[in-house]
Chains A and B, each alone.
Chain A
Amino acid sequence: MTPINDDQILGEVDISEITPTGKTKHTVDGVPISTEAKLRLVRLLGDSSIYLIHYGTNDEELTDTCHDSTEEALEQAKFEYGIEKCDWTFFE
């Protein structure tokens, strides 16, 4: 689910140097994902939910989680990587 067209990127953070907390396990087709490099907060066109999208080193989208609000998405990012709100770059 790569952001397209009018999808709104709300924020971004580099996680390439951050060790995950290990509290969340992500798999794609049964294979654990790794080498995550970036997180983005995205609001999709026509969808009020906020998506926390995980990107790989080649800027490819790996997976995402869905949240009711930006704050909840930030809490999920903190839960997975220990990053704070001040670590993010916001675009709005």
Chain B
Amino acid sequence: MHGDQRERAASLGRAAQRRDHAPAAKWSCQHRSSSAQLRRRASRSAEIARRFDNGLLKSPVGHAGKVGKVIALMDVASNVTNVGRGIDNMTQNGVTWQNGLQVVGGVAGLGGNYAGTVALGANVAPGATSIWKGSFKYGPRVEAAKTTVPVPRGRAPEIPSGQITESGVLRQAENYLGRGYKEVSPGRYVSADGTRQFRYGAHETRNPANHHAHFESLQGGRVTENAVVKIVPDP
């Protein structure tokens, strides 16, 4: 299996596991489906994902005539549509996809054996070019879109208030910013989603009588909440 395919297969396998373990309550809240429906959908989604994972693209011995070629597949449960060339082994494997256009959750990519970036240009029907603009890249972009199950998120951390000890300020900052934060300028850190900022630079520390830090909320590049927290020596 090609390296990209292995990564894709592994990623799809992970996606299948996420679906298998997806909390039914989250789905039912959004789509108003019964638990039984949700389990069936999750199972079907996982099944298709495992097809890619196994890479079963051959007819098994003794099943000649039971394998047909298919040109399109739409799995409404997992919101995946494949168009191109696939194989349906009715006896054992079910549908497997060799190559073609894949649409997942409204995002298009290339499924099956394609690798790299392929621009859709002159060969695309005129009616479709208004939809498919630019290049479609096989890889993480498609995989990210496959996660149709809402990912539960915790509450945004609250802005600290009052006083913080010197040894506690960085821990508080990391809790506030969460994973993936970046230092956008010296002493200025922004969370991965761009909604929280922590400032603790030279100007916050240059006056010993006013040693402080800023915990801020951002919306559209504007500061909507700015909490100055005094930093005191450790006891």
A and B are partners in one complex rather than unrelated chains: yes
Checking A26, A29, A48, A79 against B185 with a beta-carbon cut-off of 8 angstroms, the contacting residue is A48
B162 contacts across to A, CB distance below 8 A = 29-30
**B202-A47 in contact (CB<8A):** yes
Checking B161, B163, B207 against A1 with a beta-carbon cut-off of 8 angstroms, the contacting residue is B207
Q: How far is A63 from B229 in the complex, measured between Cα atoms in Å? A: 11
Interface size on B, residues (CB 8 A): 26
**B222-A29 in contact (CB<8A):** no
Chain A CB within 8 A of B66 CB: no
Checking A1, A2, A47, A76 against B223 with a beta-carbon cut-off of 8 angstroms, the contacting residue is A76
Q: How far is A51 from B199 in the complex, measured between Cα atoms in Å? A: 12
B163 contacts across to A, CB distance below 8 A = 29
Which residue of the partner chain B has the closest CB to A7? B203
**A25-B224 in contact (CB<8A):** yes
**A30-B227 in contact (CB<8A):** yes
User: Per DSSP, are chain B's interface residues mostly helix, strand or loop, or mixed?
Assistant: strand
Which residue of the partner chain A has the closest CB to B210? A1
Within 8 A of B (CB), among A1-49: 1-2, 23-30, 44, 46-49
Which residue of the partner chain A has the closest CB to B223? A65
Give min CB distance, A46 to chain B, whole Å. Answer: 7
A28 contacts across to B, CB distance below 8 A = 227-228, 230
Given known contacts A1-B207, A46-B202, A66-B188, A24 and B224 CB-to-CB distance under 8 angstroms? yes
Given known contacts A29-B161, A29-B229, A66-B188, A47 and B203 CB-to-CB distance under 8 angstroms? yes
Which residue of the partner chain B has the closest CB to A72? B221
Which residue of the partner chain A has the closest CB to B162? A30
B186 contacts across to A, CB distance below 8 A = 47
* Chain B residues with a Cβ under 8 A of chain A: 161-163, 185-186, 188, 199, 201-204, 206-207, 210, 214, 216, 221-230
